[in-house]
Amino acid sequence: MARISVFGIGYVGVVSAACLARDGHDVIAVDIDPNKVDTLNAGRAPIVEKGLDALVSDTVGSGKLTATTDTDAAIRDTQASVVCVGTPSDPDGSVGLGHVVSVCEAIGRALAGKSDFHSVIMRSTIVPGTMEEVCIPTIEAASGKRAGRDFGVGYFPEFLRESTAIEDYANPGLIVFGALDETTEAFLTDLNADLPCEMNKVDLRTAEMVKYTSNSWRAMKISFANEIGNIAKANGLDGQAVMRILCSDDKVAMSPAFLRPGFAFGGSCLPKDVRALRHVARSKDVPTPLLDAVLDGNTAQIGRAEDMVDAASTKAVGMIGVSFKSGTDDLRESPLADLAARLIERGQQVQVYDPYVSEAFEMDPDAAGRGNDVVPDLSARMETDIDALIDSSDVIVVGNAYPGVATRIREAADRKRVVDLTRIDPGLVSGDGYQGICW
C-alpha cells in the first residue's frame, strides 16, 4: 500500500481521499481552508455525497485518513501527491488555473527540501498542454528540480459523477492516465490494478484531451436528447420513449464505429434524414441548433479535405474511393464525389480508383448510376489499376479502404504526397508527405 497526499478537499478530492483510504492506502488530505481540515479530521465529510459520511467516518476512525493545512509535512510524509483543486472558467471562457498554479508552487517549494523521489499527479480538469506548459514549469521553478528525473509527473483525470461518485470510483467506465516517468506510471498502474476496467496508458496531452472529450460528449448527448424530445413533443410523441428505444440498439446507434474521426458522412440515408427531421422541427417552430451544426460540420469537413489537397500544390490527383463508403457503388450524396467535383472545378486532374464503381460501369457503361452525375465524366476518370493510379498522380487522396490498398499506400508514402481521409494504416501519422485529416 502507498502513502498518498491529496491536495484539495473539494468534491473530487474528498471522494478520492476517502476511497484511497478505504482501499488501504495511508492518505493525507491537504487544503488551505482550516474549516475543511477540521471537519474531515472530526470524521465528517465537508460535502454531501451518498455514502461519503460513513466512508469518511470509517477511514478517519481507522487512522487511514487524516487532514492538514501543512503542505511541507504532507509532501515529506508521502510518496505521491494527487492534485484535485478546482478549475473554474475564467471570464473569457478559458480554464481558470489560479488554484492549479498555487498548489503547484506550494508542492514545488516542499519538494525543494525533500531528497526522496516524489510523484505529482494531477486529477484536476485541465486543457491539453497544461501539464507541459504550466504545471511542470511551475513545479520545476519552485523546486529547482527537473521533472521526470528528480520528481515524477502524471495526469490521471477522474470521471466521477455526483451522487454516484463512490460507486464510480470502484467501478469506473474509463481509466486513462499519462506519466512522464516509469516510477509514476508504475504507481498509477498499481493504483488501478484491481479495478474492473481497461487501463489506457497514454501521453500527458492525450489524457488531458480525453477528459474534455468525455465531458463535451456527455453534454452533447444531453442537448441532442433534448432537441429530439422537443421535436417529438411538438409532434405529439414521447421523446423519452423514442430515446429509450434508440439506446437499446448497441449494434448501430450506440456503435463506436460512428465515433471514429475521419471524413464526412454521406449516402442515401444520413444527409437527407437529418435535413428531413430538421424540416419537421421547423414546421412546428422548434429550433434545431444541434441538427443545424451536424450538417454545417459535415460540409466543413469536406472543405477541410479540399484545403488539404490544395495545400499539396499539385495538378494530378489520384482518389482512392468515390462512393460514399467501401463495399458499394452508391454515390448518392457521397462526400468523396463532392470532393472530386470541387477539385475538378478548381482545375485539378482527377483520376479515381474504386473497384465497386468500376464494376458498376462495366455492367452497364451507359448507366447514369446512383449519383454518378456529380463528378464530371466520371466513367472516363476511372482507373482499375491501383499501381497505375499511384504512379500517375502527384497526390493520393485515400477516401475508402479496399483490399491491398494499405500496402500500396505505405510503399508510396515516401515518394508521393498522401491525404488520408479514412486512416488506411494506423501506423501512419501526419508528417511532411503524409497528412491524415484528423490525426
- Torsion angle of alpha carbons 328, 332, 336, 337, nearest 10°? 120
Report whether 251 belongs to an annotated binding site. no
Residue 407, helix vs strand vs coil: helix
Report whether 361 belongs to an annotated binding site. no
Report whether 324 belongs to an annotated binding site. no
Report whether 233 belongs to an annotated binding site. no
Strands 152-155 and 175-179: antiparallel
Closest CA to 75 of 4, 179, 173, 178: 4
- CA distances for 368 relative to 329, 363, 378, 383, angstroms: 12, 12, 10, 18
Q: Which three cell numbers stand for residue 222?
A: 444531453
User: How many other β-carbons are positioned within 10 Å of the β-carbon of residue 373?
Assistant: 12
Report whether 31 belongs to an annotated binding site. yes
Contact by Cβ (8 Å): 52, 16: no
Contact by Cβ (8 Å): 327, 358: no
Report whether 260 belongs to an annotated binding site. yes
Report whether 325 belongs to an annotated binding site. yes
Residue 94 burial (C-beta neighbours within 10 Å; 0-12, 13-18, 19+) = exposed
Active site residue 269: yes
- Please tell me the distance from the alpha carbon of residue 271 to that of residue 298, in angstroms, as a whole number: 9
Q: Which three cell numbers stand for residue 248?
A: 437499446
Contact by Cβ (8 Å): 208, 127: yes
Report whether 261 belongs to an annotated binding site. yes
Report whether 50 belongs to an annotated binding site. no
Report whether 161 belongs to an annotated binding site. yes
Contact by Cβ (8 Å): 346, 310: yes
**DSSP sequence for 348-387:** -EEEEE-HHHHHHHHH-TT--TTTGGGSTTHHHHB-S-HH
Q: Choosing from 197, 247, 269, 438, which is the catalytic residue?
A: 269
- CA distances for 266 relative to 81, 425, 428, angstroms: 49, 22, 25
Angle between helix 204-234 and 239-247 (nearest 10): 140
Report whether 284 belongs to an annotated binding site. no
Report whether 263 belongs to an annotated binding site. no
Instruction: Specify binding-site residues for substrate.
Output: 159-162, 211, 258-262, 266, 325
* Residues carrying an active site annotation: 269
Instruction: Specify binding-site residues for NAD(+).
Output: 31, 36, 87, 125, 162, 272, 332
Instruction: Specify binding-site residues.
Output: 31, 36, 87, 125, 159-162, 211, 258-262, 266, 272, 325, 332
